[in-house]
């Protein structure tokens, strides 16, 4: 019994007899408002507790020997698929000219409707009945070997279609000035095909696997080749003086998608105002590791970009019309980690919400109650005017 009495003396919440309670209208309104605020703040805190939060950290990127996947989806409304090519190169000296693997092209009309979809570089025409073989007439049961028209690197090298002739020219660093003089191109209707696609556009999408070093990739008309240590595109074969490289970047990313990422070039659209020109995008790639709540890691990248348009001078190799993406890698890596709020932290916040609102509402109610009583007393004795 003595222990119970001592515990009763420790009560920090002494009770008041209901006969001494004085309930007011202002107190009821304050109680209702504070209760609504408590519920709203509790629900907000509960939502934060149930959903993971993402913590970020910056570290030095020490990865070596990795590859970088570049995903793209770009539409050229005024550049036909037959003349559009994709090249990639980096500072290590590696080059991928006229990339065709993992690339899909869609021919589109002036209204944006798809005419044809095909993997790039697949389906080159086959000459079943050639007119002549390399170095003479074709004898019975002989295999056709087309001439490369002086671009052969070996005596027995064959060029059996127009694409192989263009590739042989590219390796030599030659430009193909008139495809109609090339037997294979003439019979395949190389120029005729380009004329048939006149006024069409092209949607090109896919991905590139490149070394994880600084470099660039670009979309440009014509077949590319190296000439005097310079990167050159053969535009003479198309017999055009200007190219409209207006474009829309539907998607551009470096690596896999992860929650919350915003790629700054997605949806960017550029309309060319001059006869020809070069669009340049200078990209800073930041390596990123995203770890979800289950511990699964996504190795990817973020990037920032600045853009520049350079009006090209027709006939100068340094003023190649096209869309160029120059990328460089940051030495700093960003780590994102999903975490749940600890339960004790959640409980502490809930107690702070309830206690804080209860205390503040009590102060406001006390101020209103005593203020009202003071004014009422002054009115009763006639001292309030």
- Per-position b or e across 208-219, b if 16+ CB within 10 A of its CB: bebbbeebbbbb
Q: Is residue 82 one of the residues assigned to a domain?
A: yes
Tokens of 220: 């440009």
Give residue 130's pLDDT. 47
Which pLDDT value is given to residue 125? 46
- Residue 231: inside a domain: yes
pLDDT in the model for residue 121:
53
Q: Would you say residue 93 lies in a domain?
A: yes
pLDDT one digit per residue (tens) for the chain, 385 residues: 777 777 777 766 666 766 667 777 888 888 889 889 999 999 998 888 888 888 889 999 888 778 899 999 999 998 888 888 899 999 988 888 878 888 999 999 888 888 888 776 544 444 444 444 444 444 544 566 778 877 787 777 888 877 788 778 777 777 666 776 777 777 776 666 777 777 788 999 999 999 999 999 999 887 766 655 666 666 655 556 678 889 999 999 999 999 888 899 999 999 888 777 889 999 999 999 999 888 899 999 999 999 998 876 555 545 678 899 999 999 999 999 988 888 888 899 999 998 899 888 888 888 887 887 788 787 777 765 5
What secondary structure does DSSP assign to 223-236, as a single string? EEEEETTEEEEE-G
Q: Residue 323 has what pLDDT?
A: 93
CB 268 within 8 A of CB 73: no
pLDDT of residue 119: 75
What's the CA gap between 384 and 382, in Å, rounded? 6
Count of domains in the chain?
1
Q: What is the pLDDT of residue 290?
A: 94
Please indicate, yes or no, if residue 101 is contained in any of the structural domains: yes
Distant-in-sequence, close-in-space partners of 156: CB < 8 Å, separation ≥ 6: 145
| Residue 133, pLDDT score | 47
For residue 311, the model assigns a pLDDT of 78
Boundaries of domain holding 262: 61-123+200-333
Residue 13 domain-assigned (yes or no) = no
Q: What is the DSSP string of 147-168?
A: --TT--SSTT----SHHHHHHH
Distances from the Cα of 380 to the Cα of 24, 54, 152, 370, 371, angstroms? 20, 62, 117, 15, 14
Is 103 inside a domain boundary? yes
Looking at residue 112, the DSSP 8-state letter turns out to be: S
pLDDT digits (tens, 9 = 90+) for 265-280: 999 999 888 777 889 9
User: Cα–chain-centroid distance for residue 26?
Assistant: 56
State how far the Cα of 166 lies from the Cα of 239, in Å rounded to an integer: 16
Asked if residue 50 belongs to a domain, the reply is no
pLDDT tens sequence across 310-365: 876 555 545 678 899 999 999 999 999 988 888 888 899 999 998 899 888 888 88
Kindly provide the b/e burial profile for residues 30-53, where b requires at least 16 CB atoms within 10 angstroms of the residue's own CB: beeebeeebeebeeebeeebeeee
């Amino acid at each position: 019994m003595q222990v119970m009495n001592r515990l009763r003396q420790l009560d920090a919440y002494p009770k008041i007899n209901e006969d001494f309670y004085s309930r007011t209208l202002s107190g009821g309104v304050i109680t209702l408002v504070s209760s609504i605020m408590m519920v709203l703040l509790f629900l907000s805190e509960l939502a934060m507790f149930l959903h993971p939060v993402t913590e970020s950290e910056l570290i030095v990127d020490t990865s070596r020997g990795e590859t970088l996947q570049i995903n793209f989806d770009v539409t050229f409304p005024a550049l036909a698929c037959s003349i559009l090519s994709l090249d990639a190169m980096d500072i290590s000296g590696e080059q991928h000219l006229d990339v065709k693997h993992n690339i899909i092209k869609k021919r589109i009309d002036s209204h944006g409707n798809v005419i044809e979809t095909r993997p790039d570089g697949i389906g080159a025409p086959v000459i079943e009945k050639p007119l002549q073989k390399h170095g003479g007439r074709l004898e019975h049961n002989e295999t056709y070997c087309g001439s490369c028209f002086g671009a052969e690197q070996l005596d027995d090298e064959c060029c059996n279609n127009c694409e192989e002739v263009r590739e042989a020219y590219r390796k030599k660093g030659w430009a193909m000035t008139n495809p109609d003089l090339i037997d294979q191109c003439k019979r395949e209707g190389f120029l005729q095909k380009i004329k048939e696609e006149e006024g069409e556009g092209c949607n090109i999408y896919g991905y590139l696997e490149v070394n994880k070093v600084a470099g660039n990739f670009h979309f440009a008309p014509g077949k590319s080749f190296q000439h005097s240590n310079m990167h050159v595109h053969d535009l003479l074969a198309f017999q055009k003086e200007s190219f409209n490289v207006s474009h829309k970047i539907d998607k551009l990313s470096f690596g896999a998608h992860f929650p919350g990422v915003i790629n700054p070039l997605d949806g960017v659209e550029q309309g060319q105002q001059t006869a020809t020109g070069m669009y340049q995008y200078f990209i800073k790639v930041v390596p990123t590791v995203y770890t979800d709540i289950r511990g699964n890691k996504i190795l990817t990248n973020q990037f920032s970009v600045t853009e520049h348009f350079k009006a090209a001078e027709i006939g100068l190799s340094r003023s190649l019309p096209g869309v160029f993406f120059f990328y460089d890698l940051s030495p700093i890596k960003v780590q994102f980690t999903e975490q749940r709020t600890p339960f004790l932290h959640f409980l502490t916040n809930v107690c702070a919400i309830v206690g804080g609102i209860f205390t503040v509402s009590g102060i406001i109610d006390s101020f209103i109650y005593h203020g009202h009583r003071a004014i009422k007393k002054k009115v009763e004795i006639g001292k309030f005017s």
